[in-house]
Amino acid sequence: MVMARRSDLLVCTTLECETKEEMVASMEKAKEEGADLVELHLDSMSFSHISEVEQLLSQRTLPAIVSFRLNSSRKLSGGGECRRSRCLQVLRLAVQLDVEFVEIDLEVALDVGITDFLNERSNSKIIVSSYLNGGRPSKEKLGNLIACQQSTGADVIKLVVDVVYITDVAPLFHMLAHCQVPLIVRAVGDRGLISQLLGPKFGAFLVCGSLGGTSTPGLPPIVSIKQVYKLEHINANTKVFGLISNPVGHSKGPLLHNPAFRHTGYNGIYVPMLVDDIKEFFRVYSGTDFAGFSVGIPHKEAAVECCDEVDPLAKSIGAVNTIIRRPTDGKLVGFNTDCEASITAIEDALIENCLKIQACNLIMKELIASELILSKLEETKERQVANGEASHSSPIAGKVFVLVGAGGAGRALAFGAKNRGARVVIFNRNFERAMALAQAVSGEALPYECLDTFRAENGMILANASAVGMQPNCDQSPVSKVLSLSLSRTHTRNMEALGSYQLVFDAVYTPRNTRLLREAAEVGAVVVSGVEMFVRQALGQFKLFTDGLAPEDFMRHTVLQQF
């Protein structure tokens, strides 16, 4: 698949400022951030004389759309008639000054006609716009509206639509793909974000973004459009991938998958998808171009039911975090990449630690050069994996695996540990949930309060899959570092509660170095960060999305830059 760059996509931002000076300053900012075009909402600007507008338009440093909304919240003395005549005055001036685009409300266009504008203009393109709020936009409703807008003789048509669900954006994509005149669409609100990010796939020549790196509902920041999504590479053949979640704004997925697509030359885009009803989502976005999905909170369990087929491991876990639409028959197939990601991260850290210890011992005995031994041990490890022996010889086999948390991540870890032959002991705030999971993996559930004092043996594995310690509660840890035991009324003994763990893993990855990991390292445990799990599960997803591409070093490097 080809990722040709198109040079005709315009990235626009809307400027609503009270003064001419602010408009000019914002225009400069827009230019710095990479906007190709600014939409000047001149109804937001206070001016006592039209000459101020003339100065602004003459001084513009970027191509512009000039608009003047009649229903703007800004009050003008003189009421509706005054607003209307000022609107026409501003728009006529914009045409005389040869501003690139002049936008007229459909209401005004139908009332006064746009023939004068069309006759007077030299290069300006006339946009006729409509704003729809309330009611779900059907294809028929939008089709009729566009026909009405087209009948005015407009060069460009613009539709701004309030959407309630992400599925409401689908009719807008249909319009983009089939409209006979250039069309600008914008779905307003958080659930409308994909209208901009996927617009170019359906033929949009213009997308809107927000200034200053912050996303306003429904608008991606311009810097993300330019640096993360690089929408100029998106075309009709681009495969769509995304994170189905609610909330979805925190996701680092786009920062990872989009650069990885470009790095491998795969024509794909990965976008956040704020989904309320996952079944309805798959009913509406059923085309083969919607090719793969990450699934996040709270849809991982419901996703199992949406798939036509589910990988046996994901089925036993009862949670799907990756769905691909199989290209051969369009069926949805579900997987769970969290399980292998977390368990292999733990196994590899144990093996590496064991190799280091063995190498140190060998060096001390001065038997042989450590590098040679290390490479021999690596060879042995690779041979074991290639022969499928890994699961039998997992370094966690037979160990006590203490798991904190029984949610989605907890379930993945519990099944993974059980499959590797560990003895799983589960602590969860909600004890019933812990018991249900323990039963499913033939493990044991113990009350959450006993976690600090639990010490079945030395050299246990501790895995935190609860949200404890996650931003913003970075000062929390599920297990205390030091435990004060009262031996008598006057005597207490301090014990290192973390001291009985050989390895401590934390699924939490924001922050990267949690309090649990810091304290575990202080008592000498091997520590594994949730970032490692994040890289591995994302890599697993990327392989499934692209049928095998695995730019591991690139993705690892990209993740480490972001966290």
Binding site for ligand NAP (CB under 6 A): 297, 338, 405-410, 428-430, 433, 465-468, 470, 507-509, 530, 533-534, 537
CB nearer to ligand NAP: pick between 395 and 410? 410
Contact residues for 432 (Cβ-Cβ < 8 A; gap 6+): none
| Neighbour tally for 248: CB within 10 Å | 22
Extract the tokens encoding 551: 């730019």
- Nearest CA to 106 out of 166, 148, 53 is that of 148
Q: Are 512 and 563 in contact (CB under 8 A)?
A: yes
CB nearer to ligand NAP: pick between 1 and 297? 297
Min CB(62)–ligand NAP separation in Å: 40
String of b and e for 484-514 (b: at least 16 CB within 10 Å)? Answer: eeeeeeeeeeebbbbebbbbbbbbbbbbbeb
Q: Strand pairing of 322-325 and 290-295?
A: antiparallel
Min CB(365)–ligand NAP separation in Å: 39
CB nearer to ligand NAP: pick between 408 and 443? 408
How many helices and strands (H and E) does the chain possess? 20, 22
CB nearer to ligand NAP: pick between 130 and 537? 537
CB nearer to ligand NAP: pick between 400 and 508? 508
Concatenating the DSSP letter of every residue in 491-532 gives: -EEEEEGGGGEEEEEE---SSSS-HHHHHHHHTT-EEE-HHH
Min CB(297)–ligand NAP separation in Å: 6
CB nearer to ligand NAP: pick between 343 and 468? 468
Neighbour-count burial of 33, counting CB atoms closer than 10 A to its CB (0-12 exposed, 13-18 middle, 19+ buried)? buried
Rounded to 5°, angle at Cα 497 from 495 and 503 = 135
Min CB(377)–ligand NAP separation in Å: 28
CA–CA separation, 98 vs 64, rounded Å? 10
Shortest-Cβ-distance residue relative to ligand NAP: 407
Question: Which helix (DSSP H) or strand (DSSP E) does residue 374 occupy?
Answer: helix 370-386
Min CB(465)–ligand NAP separation in Å: 5
Min CB(412)–ligand NAP separation in Å: 8
CB nearer to ligand NAP: pick between 53 and 409? 409
- Nearest CA to 411 out of 441, 431, 454, 451 is that of 441
CA–CA separation, 159 vs 19, rounded Å? 27
CB nearer to ligand NAP: pick between 115 and 473? 473
